[in-house]
Amino acid sequence: MPSEKQILTVSEITRQIKFSLEQSFPRIWIQGEISNFKRHTSGHIYFTLKDEGAQISATLWRSRVANLLFDPQDGMKVIARGAIAVYPPRGTYQIDVEQLQPLGVGELQLAFERLKKKLSDEGLFDEEHKKPIPEYPEHIGIITSETGAALQDIRSVLSRRFPSLEVILAPVRVQGAGAAEEIAAAMSDMNTYGDVDVIIVGRGGGSLEDLWAFNEEIVARAIYDSKIPVISAVGHEIDFSIADFVADLRAPTPSAAAEMVVRDRSELIDIIANICYTMQGNVDDRISSLRDRIQNLIASYSFNRPKDLLRESVQRIDELERSLSRIFSHVFQLTNQRYATIQHSLESLSPKKVLKRGYTIVRKDGRVIASAKVLHEGDRATVQFHDGDVKTKVEE
Protein backbone atom coordinates (compact mmCIF):
# COMPACT_ATOMS: atom_id res chain seq x y z
CA MET A 1 0.00 0.00 0.00
CA PRO A 2 1.67 3.34 -1.08
CA SER A 3 1.96 6.12 1.44
CA GLU A 4 -0.22 9.22 1.26
CA LYS A 5 2.73 11.27 0.00
CA GLN A 6 3.06 9.00 -3.02
CA ILE A 7 -0.58 9.34 -4.01
CA LEU A 8 -1.34 12.23 -6.39
CA THR A 9 -4.69 13.66 -7.25
CA VAL A 10 -5.77 13.94 -10.86
CA SER A 11 -5.33 17.71 -10.72
CA GLU A 12 -1.84 17.37 -9.26
CA ILE A 13 -0.59 14.93 -11.88
CA THR A 14 -2.26 16.94 -14.63
CA ARG A 15 -0.60 20.11 -13.33
CA GLN A 16 2.81 18.39 -13.34
CA ILE A 17 2.23 17.06 -16.85
CA LYS A 18 1.12 20.52 -17.98
CA PHE A 19 4.25 22.12 -16.51
CA SER A 20 6.54 19.48 -18.00
CA LEU A 21 5.05 19.64 -21.51
CA GLU A 22 4.78 23.41 -21.70
CA GLN A 23 8.37 23.83 -20.51
CA SER A 24 9.69 21.22 -22.92
CA PHE A 25 7.85 22.56 -25.99
CA PRO A 26 7.57 26.36 -25.68
CA ARG A 27 7.35 27.00 -29.45
CA ILE A 28 7.28 24.35 -32.18
CA TRP A 29 6.38 23.90 -35.85
CA ILE A 30 4.04 21.01 -36.68
CA GLN A 31 3.15 19.75 -40.13
CA GLY A 32 -0.07 17.85 -40.69
CA GLU A 33 -3.45 17.59 -42.31
CA ILE A 34 -6.50 19.48 -41.02
CA SER A 35 -9.49 17.46 -39.90
CA ASN A 36 -12.55 18.12 -37.73
CA PHE A 37 -12.36 21.81 -38.63
CA LYS A 38 -14.84 23.93 -36.65
CA ARG A 39 -15.31 27.72 -36.52
CA HIS A 40 -17.02 28.61 -33.23
CA THR A 41 -19.55 31.44 -32.93
CA SER A 42 -17.05 33.16 -30.62
CA GLY A 43 -14.65 33.42 -33.55
CA HIS A 44 -12.19 30.80 -32.26
CA ILE A 45 -11.17 27.94 -34.56
CA TYR A 46 -10.79 24.35 -33.40
CA PHE A 47 -9.35 21.55 -35.51
CA THR A 48 -7.14 18.48 -35.46
CA LEU A 49 -3.75 18.04 -37.08
CA LYS A 50 -3.01 14.47 -38.14
CA ASP A 51 -0.66 12.35 -40.19
CA GLU A 52 -0.49 8.60 -40.87
CA GLY A 53 0.41 7.69 -37.30
CA ALA A 54 -0.99 10.29 -34.88
CA GLN A 55 -3.09 13.38 -34.31
CA ILE A 56 -3.12 16.44 -32.05
CA SER A 57 -5.83 18.92 -31.19
CA ALA A 58 -5.26 22.52 -32.20
CA THR A 59 -6.80 25.87 -31.23
CA LEU A 60 -6.54 29.17 -33.06
CA TRP A 61 -7.90 32.07 -31.02
CA ARG A 62 -10.06 34.79 -32.56
CA SER A 63 -7.37 37.49 -32.17
CA ARG A 64 -5.10 35.50 -34.49
CA VAL A 65 -7.72 34.44 -37.04
CA ALA A 66 -7.58 37.89 -38.66
CA ASN A 67 -3.97 37.24 -39.64
CA LEU A 68 -4.85 34.17 -41.73
CA LEU A 69 -4.16 34.63 -45.43
CA PHE A 70 -6.23 31.61 -46.52
CA ASP A 71 -9.36 29.69 -45.51
CA PRO A 72 -8.41 26.51 -43.65
CA GLN A 73 -10.42 23.46 -44.68
CA ASP A 74 -10.54 19.75 -43.85
CA GLY A 75 -7.95 17.79 -45.82
CA MET A 76 -5.65 20.78 -46.31
CA LYS A 77 -1.99 20.22 -45.46
CA VAL A 78 -0.57 23.00 -43.32
CA ILE A 79 2.33 24.01 -41.09
CA ALA A 80 1.34 25.30 -37.66
CA ARG A 81 3.54 27.25 -35.25
CA GLY A 82 2.59 27.40 -31.59
CA ALA A 83 3.11 26.20 -28.06
CA ILE A 84 2.04 22.89 -26.52
CA ALA A 85 -0.61 23.41 -23.84
CA VAL A 86 -2.55 21.08 -21.58
CA TYR A 87 -6.28 21.51 -21.07
CA PRO A 88 -6.77 20.23 -17.47
CA PRO A 89 -10.58 19.77 -17.47
CA ARG A 90 -10.25 17.07 -20.13
CA GLY A 91 -6.72 16.00 -19.38
CA THR A 92 -5.72 16.46 -23.00
CA TYR A 93 -2.85 18.29 -24.62
CA GLN A 94 -3.14 20.50 -27.67
CA ILE A 95 -1.21 23.06 -29.66
CA ASP A 96 -2.04 26.70 -29.16
CA VAL A 97 -1.58 27.89 -32.78
CA GLU A 98 0.00 31.32 -33.36
CA GLN A 99 0.69 31.02 -37.07
CA LEU A 100 -0.79 28.80 -39.78
CA GLN A 101 0.56 28.38 -43.31
CA PRO A 102 -0.74 26.27 -46.18
CA LEU A 103 1.60 23.58 -47.45
CA GLY A 104 0.19 22.75 -50.85
CA VAL A 105 1.19 24.78 -53.94
CA GLY A 106 -2.38 25.88 -54.63
CA GLU A 107 -2.87 27.03 -51.06
CA LEU A 108 0.50 28.78 -51.05
CA GLN A 109 -0.33 30.66 -54.24
CA LEU A 110 -3.65 31.72 -52.75
CA ALA A 111 -1.92 32.91 -49.59
CA PHE A 112 0.62 34.77 -51.75
CA GLU A 113 -2.07 36.65 -53.65
CA ARG A 114 -3.98 37.57 -50.52
CA LEU A 115 -0.93 38.91 -48.71
CA LYS A 116 0.12 40.76 -51.85
CA LYS A 117 -3.27 42.45 -52.06
CA LYS A 118 -3.31 43.26 -48.36
CA LEU A 119 0.13 44.90 -48.36
CA SER A 120 -0.56 46.67 -51.64
CA ASP A 121 -3.73 48.17 -50.20
CA GLU A 122 -1.69 49.39 -47.23
CA GLY A 123 0.74 51.14 -49.59
CA LEU A 124 3.83 49.03 -48.88
CA PHE A 125 4.51 48.68 -52.62
CA ASP A 126 4.10 52.37 -53.49
CA GLU A 127 6.97 53.96 -55.41
CA GLU A 128 6.97 57.02 -53.17
CA HIS A 129 8.31 54.83 -50.34
CA LYS A 130 11.18 53.45 -52.43
CA LYS A 131 14.60 54.65 -51.29
CA PRO A 132 17.30 55.35 -53.90
CA ILE A 133 20.16 52.87 -54.11
CA PRO A 134 23.49 54.63 -53.43
CA GLU A 135 25.59 54.93 -56.58
CA TYR A 136 28.90 54.17 -54.90
CA PRO A 137 28.32 52.13 -51.71
CA GLU A 138 31.29 51.24 -49.49
CA HIS A 139 29.60 48.90 -46.99
CA ILE A 140 27.19 46.23 -48.29
CA GLY A 141 25.03 44.14 -45.98
CA ILE A 142 23.99 40.64 -47.07
CA ILE A 143 21.18 38.64 -45.48
CA THR A 144 21.23 35.05 -46.71
CA SER A 145 22.43 31.57 -45.80
CA GLU A 146 26.14 31.42 -45.10
CA THR A 147 26.29 27.98 -46.77
CA GLY A 148 24.17 28.77 -49.82
CA ALA A 149 25.35 29.33 -53.36
CA ALA A 150 23.76 32.80 -53.35
CA LEU A 151 26.37 34.13 -50.93
CA GLN A 152 29.23 32.72 -52.99
CA ASP A 153 27.77 34.21 -56.17
CA ILE A 154 27.41 37.66 -54.57
CA ARG A 155 30.89 37.61 -53.07
CA SER A 156 32.41 36.44 -56.34
CA VAL A 157 30.82 39.28 -58.29
CA LEU A 158 31.70 41.92 -55.67
CA SER A 159 35.32 40.80 -55.36
CA ARG A 160 35.69 40.85 -59.13
CA ARG A 161 34.01 44.19 -59.70
CA PHE A 162 35.21 46.12 -56.64
CA PRO A 163 37.34 44.09 -54.19
CA SER A 164 37.85 46.98 -51.72
CA LEU A 165 34.21 46.94 -50.62
CA GLU A 166 33.33 45.88 -47.08
CA VAL A 167 30.76 43.06 -46.89
CA ILE A 168 28.75 42.52 -43.68
CA LEU A 169 27.00 39.14 -43.56
CA ALA A 170 23.99 38.33 -41.40
CA PRO A 171 23.65 34.53 -41.75
CA VAL A 172 20.08 33.23 -41.63
CA ARG A 173 18.04 30.26 -42.63
CA VAL A 174 16.31 30.93 -45.92
CA GLN A 175 13.70 28.18 -45.85
CA GLY A 176 11.80 26.08 -43.41
CA ALA A 177 10.31 26.78 -40.02
CA GLY A 178 11.62 29.96 -38.38
CA ALA A 179 13.38 31.26 -41.50
CA ALA A 180 11.10 34.30 -41.88
CA GLU A 181 11.66 35.33 -38.26
CA GLU A 182 15.44 35.09 -38.69
CA ILE A 183 15.37 37.18 -41.86
CA ALA A 184 13.24 39.87 -40.21
CA ALA A 185 15.51 39.91 -37.15
CA ALA A 186 18.61 40.18 -39.35
CA MET A 187 17.04 43.12 -41.17
CA SER A 188 16.46 44.85 -37.83
CA ASP A 189 20.02 44.06 -36.70
CA MET A 190 21.46 45.59 -39.88
CA ASN A 191 19.56 48.81 -39.24
CA THR A 192 20.65 48.84 -35.61
CA TYR A 193 24.27 48.38 -36.68
CA GLY A 194 23.82 51.27 -39.07
CA ASP A 195 27.19 51.29 -40.86
CA VAL A 196 25.70 49.77 -44.01
CA ASP A 197 24.96 51.62 -47.26
CA VAL A 198 22.69 49.03 -48.89
CA ILE A 199 21.30 45.58 -47.99
CA ILE A 200 20.96 42.58 -50.31
CA VAL A 201 18.48 39.99 -49.03
CA GLY A 202 17.69 36.78 -50.85
CA ARG A 203 18.62 33.26 -51.80
CA GLY A 204 19.04 31.01 -54.80
CA GLY A 205 16.24 29.35 -56.74
CA GLY A 206 13.82 26.73 -55.49
CA SER A 207 10.21 25.70 -55.37
CA LEU A 208 7.45 27.95 -54.06
CA GLU A 209 7.67 26.17 -50.73
CA ASP A 210 11.44 26.75 -50.62
CA LEU A 211 11.03 30.46 -51.29
CA TRP A 212 8.08 30.90 -48.96
CA ALA A 213 10.04 32.61 -46.17
CA PHE A 214 10.31 35.66 -48.44
CA ASN A 215 6.54 35.71 -48.82
CA GLU A 216 5.94 36.07 -45.10
CA GLU A 217 4.34 39.27 -43.81
CA ILE A 218 6.97 39.64 -41.08
CA VAL A 219 9.73 39.79 -43.73
CA ALA A 220 7.77 42.23 -45.88
CA ARG A 221 7.24 44.63 -42.99
CA ALA A 222 10.87 44.36 -41.88
CA ILE A 223 11.99 45.38 -45.39
CA TYR A 224 9.46 48.22 -45.47
CA ASP A 225 10.61 49.50 -42.05
CA SER A 226 14.30 49.42 -43.02
CA LYS A 227 15.96 52.83 -43.08
CA ILE A 228 18.68 51.35 -45.28
CA PRO A 229 17.89 50.73 -48.99
CA VAL A 230 17.10 47.06 -49.65
CA ILE A 231 17.64 45.00 -52.81
CA SER A 232 15.61 41.81 -53.01
CA ALA A 233 17.30 38.92 -54.85
CA VAL A 234 15.11 35.85 -54.42
CA GLY A 235 15.30 32.82 -56.68
CA HIS A 236 15.60 33.03 -60.43
CA GLU A 237 14.45 35.70 -62.86
CA ILE A 238 11.01 34.12 -63.22
CA ASP A 239 10.47 33.95 -59.46
CA PHE A 240 8.60 36.76 -57.72
CA SER A 241 8.18 37.12 -53.98
CA ILE A 242 6.44 39.56 -51.66
CA ALA A 243 9.91 40.78 -50.69
CA ASP A 244 10.48 41.81 -54.33
CA PHE A 245 7.46 44.12 -54.29
CA VAL A 246 8.33 45.77 -50.95
CA ALA A 247 12.08 46.15 -51.56
CA ASP A 248 13.51 49.36 -52.97
CA LEU A 249 14.89 47.40 -55.94
CA ARG A 250 14.34 43.87 -57.28
CA ALA A 251 17.20 41.88 -58.75
CA PRO A 252 16.39 38.81 -60.87
CA THR A 253 19.18 36.77 -59.19
CA PRO A 254 21.69 37.22 -56.34
CA SER A 255 24.49 37.63 -58.89
CA ALA A 256 22.50 40.31 -60.67
CA ALA A 257 21.98 42.07 -57.34
CA ALA A 258 25.73 42.24 -56.82
CA GLU A 259 26.19 43.65 -60.31
CA MET A 260 23.43 46.22 -59.76
CA VAL A 261 24.70 47.42 -56.40
CA VAL A 262 28.25 48.22 -57.48
CA ARG A 263 29.83 49.26 -60.74
CA ASP A 264 32.86 47.52 -62.17
CA ARG A 265 36.11 49.07 -60.92
CA SER A 266 37.73 48.95 -64.35
CA GLU A 267 34.66 50.65 -65.79
CA LEU A 268 34.93 53.40 -63.17
CA ILE A 269 38.64 53.79 -63.88
CA ASP A 270 37.86 54.15 -67.59
CA ILE A 271 35.15 56.70 -66.81
CA ILE A 272 37.53 58.68 -64.59
CA ALA A 273 40.24 58.50 -67.25
CA ASN A 274 37.79 59.74 -69.89
CA ILE A 275 36.67 62.54 -67.60
CA CYS A 276 40.30 63.54 -66.96
CA TYR A 277 41.05 63.40 -70.69
CA THR A 278 37.98 65.50 -71.47
CA MET A 279 38.82 67.98 -68.72
CA GLN A 280 42.40 68.30 -69.94
CA GLY A 281 41.21 68.82 -73.50
CA ASN A 282 38.71 71.45 -72.33
CA VAL A 283 41.41 73.23 -70.33
CA ASP A 284 43.84 73.15 -73.27
CA ASP A 285 41.16 74.47 -75.60
CA ARG A 286 40.27 77.16 -73.13
CA ILE A 287 43.90 78.21 -72.71
CA SER A 288 44.39 78.30 -76.48
CA SER A 289 41.22 80.32 -76.93
CA LEU A 290 42.23 82.80 -74.24
CA ARG A 291 45.76 83.05 -75.70
CA ASP A 292 44.33 83.91 -79.12
CA ARG A 293 42.00 86.41 -77.54
CA ILE A 294 44.86 88.07 -75.67
CA GLN A 295 46.94 88.26 -78.85
CA ASN A 296 44.00 89.85 -80.65
CA LEU A 297 43.56 92.33 -77.84
CA ILE A 298 47.25 93.21 -77.89
CA ALA A 299 47.12 93.75 -81.62
CA SER A 300 43.83 95.63 -81.52
CA TYR A 301 43.55 99.44 -81.93
CA SER A 302 41.66 99.63 -78.62
CA PHE A 303 44.56 98.06 -76.76
CA ASN A 304 47.18 100.27 -78.46
CA ARG A 305 45.14 103.51 -78.25
CA PRO A 306 46.32 104.23 -74.65
CA LYS A 307 49.92 104.26 -75.93
CA ASP A 308 48.94 106.67 -78.68
CA LEU A 309 47.08 108.83 -76.18
CA LEU A 310 50.12 108.82 -73.91
CA ARG A 311 52.43 109.79 -76.75
CA GLU A 312 50.03 112.53 -77.84
CA SER A 313 49.86 113.79 -74.28
CA VAL A 314 53.66 113.87 -74.01
CA GLN A 315 53.89 115.73 -77.32
CA ARG A 316 51.20 118.15 -76.17
CA ILE A 317 53.08 118.77 -72.95
CA ASP A 318 56.24 119.50 -74.94
CA GLU A 319 54.33 121.94 -77.12
CA LEU A 320 52.78 123.62 -74.09
CA GLU A 321 56.18 123.82 -72.45
CA ARG A 322 57.68 125.51 -75.53
CA SER A 323 54.72 127.84 -75.80
CA LEU A 324 54.92 128.69 -72.14
CA SER A 325 58.63 129.33 -72.47
CA ARG A 326 58.02 131.74 -75.37
CA ILE A 327 55.24 133.50 -73.52
CA PHE A 328 57.33 133.74 -70.39
CA SER A 329 60.27 135.14 -72.37
CA HIS A 330 58.03 137.69 -74.07
CA VAL A 331 56.42 138.73 -70.82
CA PHE A 332 59.85 138.97 -69.22
CA GLN A 333 61.08 141.27 -72.01
CA LEU A 334 57.99 143.44 -71.78
CA THR A 335 58.39 143.62 -68.03
CA ASN A 336 62.03 144.66 -68.37
CA GLN A 337 61.16 147.31 -70.88
CA ARG A 338 58.37 148.61 -68.70
CA TYR A 339 60.66 148.57 -65.73
CA ALA A 340 63.29 150.52 -67.64
CA THR A 341 60.69 153.07 -68.72
CA ILE A 342 59.36 153.47 -65.22
CA GLN A 343 62.88 153.69 -63.88
CA HIS A 344 63.73 156.40 -66.40
CA SER A 345 60.57 158.27 -65.49
CA LEU A 346 61.36 158.00 -61.83
CA GLU A 347 64.89 159.13 -62.36
CA SER A 348 63.68 162.16 -64.35
CA LEU A 349 61.41 163.09 -61.48
CA SER A 350 64.06 162.55 -58.85
CA PRO A 351 64.70 165.58 -56.55
CA LYS A 352 68.39 165.33 -57.32
CA LYS A 353 67.73 165.79 -61.04
CA VAL A 354 65.53 168.81 -60.22
CA LEU A 355 68.22 170.29 -57.92
CA LYS A 356 70.78 169.94 -60.73
CA ARG A 357 68.61 172.16 -62.82
CA GLY A 358 69.13 174.98 -60.28
CA TYR A 359 66.37 174.34 -57.80
CA THR A 360 66.83 174.09 -54.01
CA ILE A 361 64.94 172.65 -51.09
CA VAL A 362 64.49 174.74 -47.94
CA ARG A 363 63.99 172.96 -44.64
CA LYS A 364 63.24 174.30 -41.24
CA ASP A 365 63.59 172.05 -38.29
CA GLY A 366 63.87 169.15 -40.75
CA ARG A 367 60.62 169.98 -42.49
CA VAL A 368 60.40 171.06 -46.11
CA ILE A 369 59.26 174.67 -46.44
CA ALA A 370 56.88 175.00 -49.32
CA SER A 371 55.95 178.69 -48.80
CA ALA A 372 57.90 181.79 -47.92
CA LYS A 373 55.17 182.84 -45.58
CA VAL A 374 56.20 180.14 -43.22
CA LEU A 375 59.58 181.74 -42.61
CA HIS A 376 60.00 184.82 -40.46
CA GLU A 377 62.77 187.21 -39.84
CA GLY A 378 65.47 185.66 -37.77
CA ASP A 379 64.47 182.05 -38.58
CA ARG A 380 67.26 179.67 -39.37
CA ALA A 381 66.85 177.28 -42.29
CA THR A 382 68.78 174.76 -44.33
CA VAL A 383 69.05 175.12 -48.05
CA GLN A 384 69.73 171.95 -50.00
CA PHE A 385 71.55 172.13 -53.36
CA HIS A 386 72.27 169.21 -55.62
CA ASP A 387 75.80 169.03 -54.34
CA GLY A 388 75.32 169.94 -50.65
CA ASP A 389 73.52 171.92 -47.92
CA VAL A 390 74.06 175.44 -46.52
CA LYS A 391 72.78 177.06 -43.35
CA THR A 392 71.05 180.41 -43.66
CA LYS A 393 69.27 183.05 -41.55
CA VAL A 394 66.27 184.97 -42.71
CA GLU A 395 67.00 188.71 -42.49
CA GLU A 396 63.96 190.12 -44.32
Contact criterion met (CB below 8 Å) for 28 and 83: yes
- Tens digits of per-residue pLDDT, 48-102? 998 888 899 999 988 888 777 777 888 788 889 998 888 788 878 889 898 888 8
pLDDT of residue 104: 66
Could you say which of 3.30.930.10, 3.40.50.261, 1.10.10.10, 3.90.1170.50 is the CATH number of the domain covering 117-263? 3.40.50.261
Using CA atoms, how far apart are residues 149 and 155, in angstroms rounded to an integer? 10
Using CA atoms, how far apart are residues 335 and 328, in angstroms rounded to an integer? 10
CATH topology of domain 4-103: OB fold (Dihydrolipoamide Acetyltransferase, E2P) (2.40.50)
CA distances to 162, 242, 253, 365, 381 from 232, in Å? 20, 10, 9, 140, 145
- Tens digits of per-residue pLDDT, 205-227? 887 778 889 999 999 999 999 99
- According to DSSP, the residues that pair with 254 across neighbouring strands are none
* Spans of the chain below 70 pLDDT: 1-6, 22, 104-107, 264-265, 301-305
For the entire predicted model, the pTM comes to 0.52
Cβ neighbours, 10 Å, residue 253: 20
| Same fold flag, 4-103 and 117-263 | no
pLDDT of residue 170: 95
Three-state DSSP at 255 gives helix
pLDDT of residue 227: 95
In the chain, what are the domain boundaries?
4-103, 117-263, 351-393
